[in-house]
Amino acid sequence: MDNKCWYETNIEFDKNFTIDKLPKINEGEWYDKEGIWKQPLGEVFSEEWNTHLKDLGFSMWPWVLMFYRRPHYYAQRAHVDLQDTVCGINWVIGGSDSHMIWYKKTGVTQERDALTSVAFTPYLSWPVNELEEIERHTLSRTKITLVRVDIPHAIEVRSEDRWGISVRPKGKTFRTWEDTIDYFRSKNLLIER
Ligand SMILES: [Fe+2]
């Protein structure tokens, strides 16, 4: 049983990806989308990078999630992503000292109904005061990080706003955290900690 919720990886960045590919923030749209955009992978990343992921054996969800969080954003709820994958392949732009935080359920955690985000991704969520924090981490800007999304997680932002970029591998390997880690390890993509 691996109780670590994140690992940095050796996955290379898309050299052609620049901040120009990020959605433009205008107040109305930001508000409507609650800071969450879902964009086709092929529109955001180069053919080369998409091929690189395929060569590593990843078949990916066809879209990338991009989260924008303003300075001092603090989630009072944590959520579980209800997708066919337990992990995200993530990095951040900005967000100095921001934290991704993972929790476990406690005796007072109540069962909740599934909800759907503005990006049409289903999730479950709980107030953080019903949960127990197990780990927190400032995601790297210079390394791509494998993060767990099938247990409750949330973000806290400090004084610098934060973009979180997340691509999601699919397939049966990525339906458990243990299998996911084994796979990354077998491909020498995992940086042990
Ligand atoms: Fe999530």
Q: What is the pLDDT along the chain (193 residues), one digit of tens a residue?
A: 678 999 999 999 999 999 999 988 776 666 666 788 999 999 999 999 999 999 999 999 999 999 999 999 998 999 999 988 999 999 999 999 999 999 999 999 998 888 888 777 889 999 999 999 999 999 999 999 999 999 999 999 999 999 999 999 999 999 999 999 999 999 999 999 9
Q: What's the pTM?
A: 0.94
Which of 37, 41, 88 shows the shortest CA–CA distance to 63? 41
Ligand 1 centroid to 56 CA: how many Å?
Answer: 23
Ligand 1 centroid to 190 CA: how many Å?
Answer: 21
Domains and CATH numbers, the chain: 34-186 (2.60.120)
Ligand 1 centroid to 96 CA: how many Å?
Answer: 19
3-state secondary structure of 16: coil
Ligand 1 centroid to 86 CA: how many Å?
Answer: 10
Beta bridge partners of 162: 69, 94
The two three-digit tokens of residue 94, written as one number? 């900005």
Q: Which stretch of DSSP H or E encloses residue 63?
A: strand 59-69
The two three-digit tokens of residue 54, written as one number? 């395929």
Ligand 1 centroid to 153 CA: how many Å?
Answer: 6
Ligand 1 centroid to 27 CA: how many Å?
Answer: 23
Ligand 1 centroid to 78 CA: how many Å?
Answer: 8
Ligand 1 centroid to 14 CA: how many Å?
Answer: 22
DSSP 88-137: EEEEEEE-TT-EEEEEEE-TTPPP---EE-TTS-EEEEEEGGGEEEEEEE
Ligand 1 centroid to 192 CA: how many Å?
Answer: 23
